[in-house]
Structure 1
Amino acid sequence: MTTPTRATLEKALKSESKLQAAATQIANELTGGTYNIADLAEQLGFALTSPDTEQRVAGTKLLSAVLSALPGDVLSSKQLEFLTTFYTDRLRDHHNVMPAIIEGLNALVRMKQLPAESVPLLLHAFFQYTTCQSQTRGDRTKVFNMLKFLTSHCQPELVKMSGDFLYGLINSIDGERDPRNLDIIFSFMPEFISQYPLLHLAEEMFEIFACYFPIDFHPSKQDPEAITRDALAEKLTNCLVASEQFAEWTVSLAVEKLDSELLVAKLDSIELLHQAALKFKPDALEPHFAQIWQALKAETFPGSDNADVLRCALKALAELLKSAAKVPSISQNYQSTVLGVVLPHLSDVHHRLFHPATAISLMCVSGDATYAADKILNTFLLKLQAIELNLTCCEERIRFYHIIAQVYKLAALRDSLLKLDKTILLPLQDDVIQALRLCERDDFDAKQQDLELQRAALSVLCECVPVLSEEQRALIYKALVQLVSHPHIDLDFKMLTVNLGALQPVELQSNFIDICMRNFDIFSEFIKRKIYANLLPLLPQIAFTQRILDLVMRQLFTETVAEPGRLLALEALSALLNQEDQRFIVELQQQSNLLHKLIELANQTPELPLASLEMIAAALSRIMQQLPLSEQSAIVSEYLPTLQLHQTAHLYVAKGLLGYLHKDISLDDHFERLLDDLTKLSLSTDNEQLREIAHHLLCSLVNKMDNNEANRNQVKRITHQLKAAVKAGDERAVHLLAWLAKGLVVAGFEEAADIISDLTDLLEHPTLSSAAALAFDIIAAEYPELDLPVVKFLYKQKFFHTIMNKLGTKLSSYCEHHMKAFIYVLKATPHSVIRLNIKQLGPLLFKTLDAHNDAHSLCIALGICQNFVQQQDTYFQAHLGHILPSCLELSKQKTQLNMQVRIAALQLLYDITKYPTYVLLPHKVDVTLVLADALDDPKRLVRNAAVKARNAWYLVGAPSGD
């Protein structure tokens, strides 16, 4: 194949589509080496040098399109030098040719073999003969993308251009208004500014960005890829702090705009100061700190009415102080300036400046912990020494202690706690310990304020454990013993004992733990509970592990321990097992054979109360879940054959062993007996707790059963037995069928369909219809305490379609129990499935809202409607005339229905206001009038929802509300 002929090229230049197709073909031929770019330029010369402007435009456009389509490594440096000369000369051509030239330049600079000296030639010519801002938006985008590429790939060449490139770049950017182009500029300029010398043009460079600050831009709602104002503002801020030469101008700009009444201007200005603190060195900001502090003080002291402004201002101040901490002299200058203003206001908790002073003081500690903490703590020490310590007036002390605790915590986070001045810390801690020891006085009556003082003192001591003296720790141990043995006070000091144990295990052991254990048996149940609560968190510390375990085991398995004490020990064991990891539990089981001891304890005579058996079952479950499969299987084989499930203790042991048994462990050898025993128990006992255990075990058992014929036949046998009981009118058999169906449905067994069919038929039964409807709630509901590990993919969708096929034809008659059952099913059905069937289900939902006869069904129906309305579903938009009266009626039902229904109805009314205004306006007056009744509802939460909904309806159609 030869070079394209003039006739071919003339034909290609006639339309845009032909030109692009030709460019692609020519690029492929050039890549394949069929001919070279010089041959193409020669053939295209008639258009490139034509006196007709339109033909020159078309010819240049074709050449540029070819360059854009070429891979970056096809053209040689010689060819690129030739093209550079052509394009630099062509920059003086008619302005109509410029778009094509810009496209060509954009492609040219990306060529890998482009000679280094060609870059300055191209840019000098471009800046000299072209004005960027006179081009179209699309062409400016290409220019900025070209400049972005050059600044990241041609740094040496651009540095050699010195001020010429900077000046050209500034002129190209200056005046740009398009958000997309600004996004490109703001994205690459921070890196450029930080890496290139700005010479004498630093201020001009800063000013081209400062004119955009703060960003005032609202993206189009129709643009799917709109640039957000916040994203653009963030990138602009990065430009303004890209060079330390900008420090003075950045501060002046931020302070100036901080005076604005516009919230967005304030927030952007504060964020600019925050970024300046992050990017600029302390010595660059030091000359301007007084100016910055005065500006931030106006927003923090006493503080802005806007919470966001206050929070951001404190964050910026904290970063300034933190950055300054790298240079001690600068840091102390900053700290002295700030603390000199706020410390005098920390002495009076009732002064309006106390809270802002506190917030600023804590920011100081987060910056330079050692210097600021000493100053602040000394201020509190002087104040505490001047006020009397008593129980009648401790509000001020409580507030001081809370702040002191935060100061200690921040100092510890900055690794400065041990560096603080001991002459301040020790007397301050003495005061706190004295406050804690007030509980030892006879007149301490455990009023709320007295307890608050104790909690505040404990919060301080938790944080200052590493700097407590030996004498102070001794007093604390005495106070802790007093607190734990007090007959009425129940204060949480777990963190204090944990921290003391980590640093002083021997002291804590002898002064607190041994005393608690020595007198444990004579303590009341209330005190024992407190001891467990404070000792169990110490278990991970190896110094205390065995002693605490011994205490719990002794209380569990000693025959002489009375039942209340054993129940406490069981609760402690459950807490211990829940807080520890698998390794610990497995080791505990292997070392002490805990599971066997618990089973023996459950089976002892006389029989334990149900509360204790429940705790034993929970402990057994936790242990079983952590053991390897082989051990789980061995334990089941050992204990299961001996269990008689009609005995309460044995049933609870079965719950512990089988409730969370791994699904891979086969129970085929015991399956028939378990089914029979659990079924018999469920049908015969009147104890609801025992029936619930039987139901959960049956449900989990059939869910995990091996899918073989023998097991399925056993399920069918039990099902027939239950059907016979149903015919005899036994409501308990209906519930049991529901639990069997639940396990089978989740696992995807076909036998579930027969049970569901029977339950559906029962919806028309004269006496069992209500139980049958509730059966569908059992099948559909989620039970976190129920272990159903075998889950069939899309089982919820299959369950829905099964019910739809059974009940679909009967829903048109709107029988109450059919409706209720189907609503329960919809609760568990994925939203996407409901949406596909909404035309069939919509009338049912509306009829449920009109029925007003069952709060549970109403809450489900309202929740489903809300999901659709929040997505502004068109079906519900078309039926607002039905939904609105129903919701308004439900919002007024103060006697028949509970408040959850009223709140859900009001929330739905609120969500409806998100529909287009023209849809809502016909209903506005009626809705706002009826909602007035809900404003007087006796329940506060209902009134809150009513106010929210009514305000939203009032704003429908308002000038600023759409």
Structure 2
Amino acid sequence: MTTPTRATLEKALKSDAKLLKASIQIAKDLTAKVYDISVLAEELGFALSSPDMEQRVAGTNLLSAVLVALPEDLLEARQLEFLSTFYMDRLRDHHNVMPAIIDGIDALVHMKALPPSHVPLILQAFFEHTTCQSQTRGDRAKLFDIFKYLTLNFKTELQSMAGDFVYGLINSIDGERDPRNLDIIFSFMPEFLSTYPLLHLAEEMFEIFACYFPIDFNPSKQDPTAITRDELASKLTNCLVANNEFAEATVVLAVEKLESELLVAKLDSIMLLHQAAVKFPPSVLEPHFDQIWQALKAETFPGNDNEEILKASLKALSALLERASHLPDISHSYQSSILGVVLPHLSDVNQRLFHPATGIALVCVAGDAPYAADKILNSFLLKLQQVGDVSSEQRIKIYGIISQVYKLCGLRDALQKLDATIRESLQDDVIASLRLIEREDFDAKQETLELQRAAISVLNESAPILSEKQRALVYKALVQLVSHPSIDLDFTTLTASLGALQPVELQSNFIDVSVRNFEIFSNFVKRKIYANLLPLLPQMAFTQRILDLIMTQSFKETTPDPVRLLALEALNQVLAQEDQRFIVDLQQESNLLHKLIELGQSTENLSLQSLEQIAGALSRITQQLPLSEQSAIVSEYLPGLRLNLSADLYITKGLLGYLHKDISLDDHFERLLSDLTQLSLSTDNEQLRVIAHHLLCSLVNKMESNPANRGKVKKITDELKVAIKKGDVRAVEILAWVAKGLVVAGFDEAADIVGDLSDLLKHPSLSTAAALGFDIIAAEYPELDLPVVKFLYKQKLFHTIMGKMGSKLANYCVHHLKAFVYVLKATPQAVIKLNIEQLGPLLFRSLEEHNEAQSLCIALGICERFVQQQDPYFQGHLAHLIPSCLELSKYKAQHTMQVRIAALELLYDITKYPTFVLLPHKVDVTLALAAALDDPKRLVRNTAVKARNAWFMVGAASGN
């Protein structure tokens, strides 16, 4: 393009669209160095200096638009000096020209070559010749963004303006009311206020922000990016605490507004006090502490009815004390003022002020643990040493507070700093309460047990500071607790702490005593010993001693089965808690797998519970071993296992249940399938059948996909079909488990089995079993190992079943509907939504059948998920849904409590739909729900009240 002429520029100024197009082209030419910007200014002079105001506006708009479109590093310093001088002069012009001038100044200050010395000149000209608040909202937003940019990038130049910039900024902000502009101001001003000297204008600057406190506005519901009241309030608070010179005024403002009856004003005021405590140095706040404490005391002592205000007040007080904790003189002064008020009320646990006093006392400990804890603990000590017995109830409450004091001191490494005389006397009292169990007339009633628990909670926290004499008494009490024939209290935290601090003492005074007398204890006591020893296992000092006990009790031939079961349970807890390295080392050192297998096979009359524990231990060990060892173990033990024997079946479960999927079982696959199938068909023991089913499912899931294995599965399924033709219900269940393994792994054969099961849904005697088979296929079983999971297998299952059953569902066979609902339970909601036109009528019909609780709960749950999202399909079919829910909410034999609650919850969620949809049903629903209010089950009645109240509110002014 050639150099612009007056004629071309006049043409460009005729409309906004032409002006924008011309500015973009001119910016491109200037960037390409076709001509200099001085040429543009000269040619545009006719418009920039025109006596016609509208032409000056258009000319300035064009120049500013060009500057905005230029790269920030294009113009040189001399060019920017010329342009900035022009714009400063234009600040005297008509107010209609101001938007274009603001755009130009915005572009200029962002130019990299702008001489920093020109920034104060531009600002002085702006403050002298115009005002921010006389501009439109959008232009004010641009100005505030300019101020933000300048304060961040030209600190030295702005500070050279001294009070002129601060005063100009005050005048620019004063009177701003638009929340969007206030958001800009409140976002950048805290940093400005904290880094720029305010000189004599600190008070005026504070008042500029104080007039907005507390923030009161409601954002537009139509604006998805609207600024929230809480966000704006938080940013305003940051401004009010940004400069230490604001401290006195901030405290006065917060205390004044805290007297308001409005909840939001109170919360904002407390938040302001909290931020003041965090931001202002303690030396600055100290003169105002009494004023702050009196204000917060009114909200915390005796305590505000509003829990939110109470928590916020304690949080503010805590921040105040924590900030002062490193300055002893100030901290002790604060603490003395507060503790002087609350300590007298700690002496009587039955006083109304005891609870709020303890809350404030714990805040004091969190702020200055050694100083406050000594005062508080001494107050409790005096109470416990009073003439006349302190009741157990009072002791329990006192111990609870003492425990929290110790815990806070421990978190702040202040336990050792506590007054030894006070803490030892308190601990003596606590230990004396614990030792009540040693008395022959000890009464294990609930209150006494609570006292024991409270004493243990104190000792848990004070373990590091117990004296040797006190520890000796504690060990004796712990032995009595663990060996008591009827009491079971948890003190594992205490033994773990003592073990870490004094391993030799704990070994000789507790562990050895427990182990030495283990044989003579009852099974109840033995279980308690295991429970208290196992947490000590990670501590190396005790590992071998505890393992020896478990191994001896597990594998000794003469061990009675109930005792062996306890040991095996303990072994499984060890294997579940410890890491892979520990388990592998244990296996290598003790050949634990072989011992467990030998125990299962050689021990007569071993209970199924013990065999289950053996299987669990084998599984946990096998999972942690390298693949080579897993393969070797399978090769060594699997051929000799006879699955018709209970012990061998459980051992097989342990070895194969969670075997790695890469280990091939092809050599054993056919035998395992056959033996497990025959076992399930022949045994009446349901536990053995469950194991067989899970193993079958897992085996087919991770089998290698080859013709041989597929043929073996086909052979088994054919055998099952023969049994099914003879009416064997068990064969249907086995077929479902095989199908589940195949479905999850994505085998094509699964579709044929699903088809066979769907054909059985009309069978006169096998239909129920077939419907439950679909539940087996679709349900999640966390205890089942199915490592091969086909991507989107649930979607594929849904489409497969719809293909097999779609035509049959149209006939609304009850068993088809039941099977269909089981499948929908596992189907992703997105898939159901895509097919809702087809599935909706079936869902509604399944609710109308209401003959089986499980499927009803599933169907109601599916409907509820859609209704909660206000799905339009369900909105259009409320005439079907509401009557079914009302019928299901009534008390009938087949309507279990879960069904009635689910129906009522769905009715409640329906009230979230628009009012005009609900009003036609309101009267019928509210009348029908009256019956549920008299339901014999309390939980049903509660849900009915909630649902009926929601329906009563439909159409009310405050409701929908």
TM-score, with structure 2 as normaliser: 0.99
Deviates more, 1:893-902 or 1:268-277: 893-902
- Is the 1:607–1:649 Cα contact (8 Å) retained in structure 2? no
Structure 1: unaligned runs, 5 residues or longer: none
Q: C-alpha separation between the residues in 1 aligned to 2:295 and 2:920? A: 51
Q: Is 1:333 the equivalent of 2:337? A: no
Give the AA of the match of 2:938.
R
Q: C-alpha separation between the residues in 1 aligned to 2:642 and 2:7? A: 100
- Is the 1:869–1:876 Cα contact (8 Å) retained in structure 2? yes
1:210 matched residue in structure 2:
210
Deviation at 1:50, TM superposition (A): 2.2
Q: C-alpha separation between the residues in 1 aligned to 2:228 and 2:829? A: 31
Deviation at 1:16, TM superposition (A): 2.4
2:343 matched residue in structure 1:
343
- Is the 1:894–1:937 Cα contact (8 Å) retained in structure 2? no
- Is the 1:63–1:104 Cα contact (8 Å) retained in structure 2? yes
Give the AA of the match of 1:111.
M
Give the AA of the match of 1:28.
K
2:874 matched residue in structure 1:
876
What percent of counterpart residues are identical? 75
1:319 matched residue in structure 2:
319
Give the AA of the match of 1:123.
L
Give the AA of the match of 1:548.
I
Deviation at 1:46, TM superposition (A): 2.3
Deviates more, 1:842-851 or 1:423-432: 842-851
1:649 matched residue in structure 2:
647
1:55 matched residue in structure 2:
55
Change (3 A) 1:623 1:7: farther
1:148 matched residue in structure 2:
148
Q: C-alpha separation between the residues in 1 aligned to 2:68 and 2:630? A: 68
Q: C-alpha separation between the residues in 1 aligned to 2:9 and 2:667? A: 86
Give the AA of the match of 2:746.
G
Q: Is 1:831 the equivalent of 2:808? A: no
Deviation at 1:560, TM superposition (A): 1.5
Q: C-alpha separation between the residues in 2 aligned to 1:889 and 1:18? A: 70
Give the AA of the match of 1:889.
E
SS in 2 for 1:723: helix
* Cα deviations by residue, 1:351-395 (Å, 9 ceiling, x for unpaired): 1111101111111100000011000000000000115558xx410
Give the AA of the match of 2:693.
H
Change (3 A) 1:605 1:541: closer
Q: C-alpha separation between the residues in 2 aligned to 1:10 and 1:31? A: 22
Q: C-alpha separation between the residues in 1 aligned to 2:681 and 2:123? A: 92
2:287 matched residue in structure 1:
287
Deviates more, 1:725-734 or 1:805-814: 805-814
Q: Is 1:373 the equivalent of 2:359? A: no
Q: 1:736 aligns with which of 734, 737, 744?
A: 734
Q: 2:664 aligns with which of 651, 663, 666?
A: 666
Give the AA of the match of 2:307.
A
Deviation at 1:447, TM superposition (A): 0.6
- Is the 2:794–2:828 Cα contact (8 Å) retained in structure 1? yes
- Is the 2:88–2:126 Cα contact (8 Å) retained in structure 1? yes
Q: C-alpha separation between the residues in 2 aligned to 1:794 and 1:7? A: 68
Give the AA of the match of 1:511.
N
Give the AA of the match of 1:829.
T
5 Å matches for 1:888-907?
888-907=886-905
2:393 matched residue in structure 1:
395
Deviation at 1:13, TM superposition (A): 2.4
1:929 matched residue in structure 2:
927
Q: C-alpha separation between the residues in 2 aligned to 1:558 and 1:305? A: 63
Q: What RMSD, in angstroms, separates the aligned Cα atoms of the two structures?
A: 1.3
SS in 2 for 1:217: coil
Q: C-alpha separation between the residues in 1 aligned to 2:8 and 2:398? A: 89
Q: 2:535 aligns with which of 530, 534, 537?
A: 537
Deviation at 1:170, TM superposition (A): 1.2
Give the AA of the match of 2:145.
N
2:559 matched residue in structure 1:
561
SS in 1 for 2:540: coil
- The number of residues matched between the two structures is 960
Q: 1:593 aligns with which of 588, 591, 594?
A: 591
- Is the 1:577–1:619 Cα contact (8 Å) retained in structure 2? yes
Q: C-alpha separation between the residues in 1 aligned to 2:852 and 2:557? A: 51
1:853 matched residue in structure 2:
851
5 Å matches for 1:262-273?
262-273=262-273
* Cα deviations by residue, 1:276-299 (Å, 9 ceiling, x for unpaired): 111111111111111111111111
* Cα deviations by residue, 1:297-332 (Å, 9 ceiling, x for unpaired): 111111111111111111111111111111111111
- Is the 1:570–1:612 Cα contact (8 Å) retained in structure 2? yes
- Is the 1:389–1:435 Cα contact (8 Å) retained in structure 2? no
Deviates more, 1:29-38 or 1:553-562: 29-38
Deviation at 1:227, TM superposition (A): 1.2
Change (3 A) 1:597 1:11: farther
Change (3 A) 1:564 1:162: same
2:402 matched residue in structure 1:
404
Deviation at 1:3, TM superposition (A): 2.0
SS in 1 for 2:214: coil
Q: C-alpha separation between the residues in 1 aligned to 2:593 and 2:11? A: 90
1:234 matched residue in structure 2:
234
- Is the 2:852–2:894 Cα contact (8 Å) retained in structure 1? no
Q: C-alpha separation between the residues in 2 aligned to 1:34 and 1:752? A: 74
Q: Is 1:706 the equivalent of 2:704? A: yes
SS in 1 for 2:763: coil
SS in 2 for 1:223: coil
Deviation at 1:623, TM superposition (A): 1.3
Deviates more, 1:484-493 or 1:808-817: 808-817
Q: Is 1:129 the equivalent of 2:129? A: yes
Change (3 A) 1:187 1:285: same
1:761 matched residue in structure 2:
759
2:170 matched residue in structure 1:
170
Q: C-alpha separation between the residues in 2 aligned to 1:4 and 1:872? A: 60
Deviation at 1:91, TM superposition (A): 1.2
2:114 matched residue in structure 1:
114
Q: C-alpha separation between the residues in 2 aligned to 1:127 and 1:585? A: 77
SS in 2 for 1:351: coil
Q: C-alpha separation between the residues in 1 aligned to 2:895 and 2:954? A: 29
SS in 1 for 2:349: coil
SS in 1 for 2:934: coil
1:39 matched residue in structure 2:
39
1:6 matched residue in structure 2:
6
Give the AA of the match of 1:661.
L
Q: C-alpha separation between the residues in 1 aligned to 2:635 and 2:44? A: 91
Change (3 A) 1:558 1:197: same
Q: C-alpha separation between the residues in 2 aligned to 1:763 and 1:352? A: 67
Give the AA of the match of 1:257.
K
Q: 1:429 aligns with which of 427, 430, 436?
A: 427
Q: Is 1:461 the equivalent of 2:455? A: no
TM-score, with structure 1 as normaliser: 0.98
Q: C-alpha separation between the residues in 1 aligned to 2:212 and 2:955? A: 34
Give the AA of the match of 2:877.
H
* Cα deviations by residue, 1:157-211 (Å, 9 ceiling, x for unpaired): 1111111111111111111111111111111111111111111111111111111
Q: C-alpha separation between the residues in 2 aligned to 1:676 and 1:89? A: 99
2:797 matched residue in structure 1:
799
SS in 1 for 2:810: helix
Deviates more, 1:762-771 or 1:424-433: 762-771
2:484 matched residue in structure 1:
486
* Cα deviations by residue, 1:61-115 (Å, 9 ceiling, x for unpaired): 1221221122211111111111101111111111111111111111111111110
Q: C-alpha separation between the residues in 1 aligned to 2:851 and 2:84? A: 84
Give the AA of the match of 2:229.
R
* Cα deviations by residue, 1:813-862 (Å, 9 ceiling, x for unpaired): 21111111111111111111111111111111111222111111111111
* Cα deviations by residue, 1:526-582 (Å, 9 ceiling, x for unpaired): 111110000100011111111111111111111111111100001111111111122
Q: C-alpha separation between the residues in 2 aligned to 1:24 and 1:610? A: 85
Q: C-alpha separation between the residues in 2 aligned to 1:386 and 1:196? A: 60
Deviation at 1:58, TM superposition (A): 1.8
2:512 matched residue in structure 1:
514
- Is the 2:891–2:935 Cα contact (8 Å) retained in structure 1? no
Give the AA of the match of 1:281.
P
Structure 2: unaligned runs, 5 residues or longer: none
* Cα deviations by residue, 1:790-812 (Å, 9 ceiling, x for unpaired): 11111111111111122222222
Q: C-alpha separation between the residues in 2 aligned to 1:625 and 1:764? A: 43
